[in-house]
Structure 1
Amino acid sequence: MGLKYIEQVKSVILLLLILLSLTLTFTIWTYSPSYNMNETPVVDIAIAEKKRMEDVVKPYRLLLSQEESLSGSENTQMIEDVLNSMKNWEIQTVELLNNQASDQQINEYTKKPNRMTFFFPAEVPFKIYDNILNFTDYSLPNASFDRLIVEWSESPSEKMNLYFISTITQKVYTANIGNANQETFIKRLKKQTIDLPVYNEIERVNRLSLYVTTSPKIMSSYSYIVEEIAPEKFKNALFTTPSLVRSNPLGTSGQEYTDDSALMNVDFIFKRLSYVHPASESDQVGKSDELIQQSLNFVNEHNGWTDDYRYSRINFSTKQVSYQLYFLGMPVFSKDTATEIIQYWGTNRVYRYIRPYYTLDVSTPAKKRDVQLQSGQNIYDLIYSLSDKKVSSIDDIAIGYNLSQDDQEKVLNLEPSWYYLANGSWIRVTPELLGGGKFGLE
């Protein structure tokens, strides 16, 4: 009886295995995967890295006024250290203090003792800086500023104040600081700024003052092997369906990428690409805070921050936002190479996007040498001696890097130079001028 029972069980198991095999075979034969013909293939569009708002919206200068003396710095790390000590402050009750401040009044705000001024290269909306400092006022004004002043008192009983000044609209806003320990802040500030270079104020009739260094400065020039980012990466990031994009050479100087809705030109000479989406063009005026936020998000979408780029210009009528290349904390300018990320915004998307497609590998310079720069005061005096009319149009004087290409050695050269700002453009004070040769204002 036992053997017969075992044989019956084995027969049942064999039958079940045969039925399972037939079922699996039928399923494989009849399976038809569901394809969505409208799906686009997933493409890796990450190019470099993402940035936060505080990484791209930065002051370029700090000026400290104490007992009739001025000192300052354009050192990024030092400025960030001071700003970081302000991030826990509760900034309360932002109010309009002066609706039409004269240039003379703005000068007074800046140089009054026990004040520290941060200079920004372009106007920053309050709603954008709310991402960086802690505003507890939920009804921030729909306004912008390009100077932020911290005022303190030697008396512990008096509170610190903030002033937000727009040198463009000439409006001055003030705010209280809720929970700052004034004594601790002053001690830390004096420690952070103990060795700051001395600055001079150059006063001008009915004009904003200029602030310049009084001592020469030794800096380094650098050369780097050219490191280019494959334009194909930007094609994958910017076009809706990269696989449908057509590519055509533009002689030996460039390449063109196009589909039925957009065009991207790559300029091999200037190491610049220009993308345009004509259908999104719009003539509506933009809102500053929305434009800056959109522009940051757009570059973040393809991790497009290939180097240290900082917010530098905005134009509401054309909906343009620009980010300037910085190197070792100094702005980089060039006559033959792209050094800006520029965006024009249209209807719900970027209309035009212009940018470099190289990157600076700052860890491995090919060459390096020291350069001594004259003081800012000497540069101003030199320009004045050559053209006193030109001096009247100057809005700022600062050090930057002049970027040039060496095609034979395939390197990018970065030379520290003095620049002055006039009519919205930074103009280099050339070596010819400094050496007493021809009039060297580029």
Structure 2
Amino acid sequence: MGLKYIEQVKSVILLLLILLSLTLTFTIWTYSPTYNTIDTPPIVDISIAEKKRIEDLVMPYRILYSRGETLTGSETPLNIEKVFNSMKTWEPQSLEPVNTKASLQQINDFITTSNRVTFFYPTEVPIKIFGSIFSFADHNLPDISFNRLVIDWNGPSEDELVFYFISTTNQKIYKTLVDKVDKEAFSERIIKQTSNFPPYNEIKRPGKLSLYVTNNQENVKGYTYILEEIEIAPEKFKNALFSFPSLVRSNSKGTREQQYTDDNALMTVNFLLKRLSYVHPASESQNSGNPTELIQHSLDFVNEHSGWTDEYRYNRINPATQQVSYQLYLKGVPVFSNDTSTEITQYWGMNRVYRYIRPYYTLNNSSPIKTRKIQLPSGQDTYDLISTIPDLKMSSVDDMVVGYYLSQDDQQLFLNLEPSWFYLSKGIWVRVSPELLGGGKFGLE
């Protein structure tokens, strides 16, 4: 009898164990723990100013029209845009090389041949970037670049003209045909649109590219702004450039600088130079970059925080260091300075921007408190003057433009923009000093 009860007890215990196992399994399967709520970072408005398109940034700074033995031209944006925009409906065909080892004299001749219009760009423009402004019939564009665009209507066909893409840096010339164009109407339109252009002189230099300068005096307005009214709060850039702005720490470096960091990146604001510098050290790269991609990435990056606070134009690229720069302009005139930053510069690294340097002021949102008219000598007279500067080799002068020299007063209350002549030498724009233009002591600023 005892053994019989033992077997029954075992069966009951086994049944209980099975039920307990099923209960535990069900509990584990259906268990839902209570998690602590993670606060989502607040959505911050990072729209600082405006977004831009490629065609807003990649623009010619000069147009030159050759007709017979005369040259006329303009650096006024409205004059350039009238001619340039009238061609945007055209469809260039396939590109083909004309001369991949062009001499500098051959390039000079291309520009001054009669019935040609030349657009000057400040630096090399990848043809694929230009393809986003003009719609090429052949979408498979080569990896070439140019800094002179020559429109030629000398050919015999009545509905066809030629685009010449010239790289003065690489000394290469490519061309493409543009058909279905009323050439006679275009020629008449060019003559009409350029009828008020001032005369230009070609300064010929043996073994060098020619310089093209105005033959008339220049009348340009100067401006003065209240500095306090045009500054942009650095906090806006902090919110735009850091992923979690609320975690960013701020540290004052005396009266001249303020630093912001989140251990991954550092943003430095220089109050004296009105310059902002952002760096993400982990993204540094020694690799070179693709010019087309660099320009597109740099545009997209600034557009992400609507950071185009003024008129800026693409003006420099260095694929070896992955650098892209955009020059500040005011009313179509370039702005240069020794006192503050007048460029937006980016260095790209591994899949993101490595370094970002720019002004944190804007001239767009304020009216000048003072306006004045300044008369400058002609480009030819200015060239003749700077040719007398001791130790300046004129063969090193690559271009001349009228620009604004931006300076601060001693109390740092005002920004002055003074019209001046500048010449380009060894990649740097140098101001022609007022003393030199006035016939006084030689000097450069």
Per the TM superposition, whether the score is higher than 0.5 is: yes
Kept in 1: contact 2:159–2:180 (CA 8 A): no
Query: Following the alignment from structure 2 to structure 1, what is the Cα–Cα distance between the partners of residues 170 and 404?
Result: 30
Shift of 1:407: 4.9
Which string of whole-angstrom CA distances, capped at 9 and with x for unpartnered residues, describes residues 209-257 of structure 1? 0000011111111101221100000000001111100001110111000
Could you say what secondary structure the match of 1:398 adopts? strand
Which amino acid in 2 is paired with 1:197?
A: P
Deviations 1:150-201 (CA, angstroms, capped at 9, x unpaired): 0013855362101000001111000000222212211221111111010000
Does the 8 Å contact 2:160/2:180 carry over to 1?
no
Deviation at 1:385, TM superposition (A): 2.4
Gap regions ≥5 residues in structure 1: 1-31
Which residue number in structure 2 is paired with residue 231 of structure 1?
A: 234
Tell me, yes or no, if structure 1 residue 323 matches structure 2 residue 326. Answer: yes
| Aligned counterparts, 1:231-270, within 5 A | 231-270=234-273
* CA deviation map 1:77-100 (0-9, x unaligned): 111111111111010011111111
1:12 aligns with none
Matched ranges for 1:164-175 at <5 A: 164-175=165-176
Q: Label 1:232 to 1:188 Cα distance change in 2 as closer, same or farther (>3 A).
A: same
The answer for unaligned runs of 5 or more in structure 2 is: 1-32
Secondary structure of the structure 2 residue equivalent to 1:358: coil
| Superposed counterparts of 1:284-303, under 5 Å | 284-303=287-306
Aligned residue in 2 for 1:217 = 218
Aligned to 2:28: none
Asked if 1:160 is matched to 2:161, the reply is: yes
- Which is worse superposed, 76-85 or 432-441? 432-441
Larger Rg: 2
Q: Which one-letter code corresponds to 2:74 in the other structure?
A: S
Map 1:69-148 to 2 at 5 A. Answer: 69-148=70-149
* 1:383 and 1:390 in contact (8 A); partners too: no
Q: Measure the CA separation in 1 of the matches of 2:325 and 2:319.
A: 12
Q: 2 CA distance for matches of 1:248 and 1:139? A: 51
Q: Conserved in 1, the CA contact under 8 Å of 2:147 and 2:166? A: yes
Aligned to 1:405: 408
After the TM superposition, which residues 349-368 of structure 1 pair with which residues of structure 2 at under 5 Å, given as runs? 349-361=352-364, 364-368=367-371
- Change in 2 beyond 3 A, CA 1:236/1:89: same
Q: Do structure 1's residue 390 and structure 2's residue 401 form an aligned pair?
A: no
Q: How many residue pairs were aligned? A: 411
- Partner in structure 1 of residue 338 of structure 2: 335
User: What per-residue deviation string (whole Å, max 9, x for no partner) do you get for residues 319-376 of structure 1?
Assistant: 0000000011111000011100000000010000000000014762100111110000
SS in 2 for 1:295: helix
Following TM superposition, by how much is the alpha carbon of 1:423 offset from its aligned partner in structure 2, in angstroms?
0.4
Which amino acid letter does the alignment assign opposite residue 281 of structure 2?
P
Residues of 2 paired with 1:299 and 1:367: CA distance? Answer: 31
Q: TM-score, normalised by structure 2?
A: 0.89
In 1, are the aligned partners of 2:159 and 2:179 still within 8 Å (CA)? Answer: no
Aligned residues: CA RMSD: 1.7
How much identity, in percent, do the aligned residues show?
Answer: 59
TM-score scaled by length of structure 1: 0.90
Answer yes or no: is 1:380 the counterpart of 2:380: no
Aligned residues of 2:309 and 2:364 also touching (Cα < 8 A) = no
Does the Cα contact within 8 Å between 1:46 and 1:303 map onto a contact in 2?
yes
- SS of corresponding position for 2:88: coil
- Label 1:45 to 1:112 Cα distance change in 2 as closer, same or farther (>3 A): same
Contact 2:257 2:270 in 1 (8 A): yes
Aligned-pair distance for 1:436?
2.1
Shift of 1:41: 2.3
